[in-house]
Structure 1
């Protein structure tokens, strides 16, 4: 898995990097076929009093790219919300990829009649 963590108008400290890595462990625990992860942490400079902290991730898995972004007043809260959204999307993708095709009851009954 290739991981890139970068900051825009922000220096990515080792504490931020470690926090993102611990949160990404939850996603990779659910789905281990992650090829590439790009995390971008941004501080938006606005004229208002509050500065918006924005976190976005682009996750590449086999056959699909998943993009999630969130913004919050606190960067750590933005990362938490980001990983919650990403986890839901990865679980949904995993459910779609898994094979849910089962044989019908009619065919099982026919196979049961033939064997007896």
Structure 2
């Protein structure tokens, strides 16, 4: 699994990097077929008084890219909410992949 954590108008500190890694463990625990993860942490200035912390993540799994973004006043809160959204989407993708397989024709004809 390739992991890239970058910042836009923000320096990614070791504490912030470690926080993202610990949060992403939950996602990789639910679905281990993750190929690539790109995390972008950025600060957008809407006005001088109002600053918005944004976190974006793109997860590449076999056959699909999952993109999630979240913004909040606090970067850590934005990361928490982002990982919650990502976890729901990854679990939904995992369910679709597992439910895709149907009973074989051999089993269907044997029960008839």
Structure 2: segments with no counterpart, 5+ residues: none
2:41 alignment counterpart = 41
* TM-score, with length taken from structure 1: 0.87
Alignment of 1:63 with 2:63, yes or no, is yes
Task: Render the CA deviation track for 1:58-103: whole Å, top value 9, x for unaligned.
Answer: 1000000000000000000000000000000000000111144236
**Structure number, greater radius of gyration:** 1
* TM-score, with length taken from structure 2: 0.90
Alignment of 1:92 with 2:106, yes or no, is no
**Cα offset, 1:49, TM superposition:** 1.6
* Aligned residue pair count: 110
Task: Render the CA deviation track for 1:31-76: whole Å, top value 9, x for unaligned.
Answer: 0000000000000012152210000001000000000000000000
Structure 1: segments with no counterpart, 5+ residues: 111-116
For residue 36 of structure 2, give the secondary structure of its aligned residue in structure 1.
strand
For residue 12 of structure 2, give the secondary structure of its aligned residue in structure 1.
coil
Aligned CA-pair RMSD: 1.7
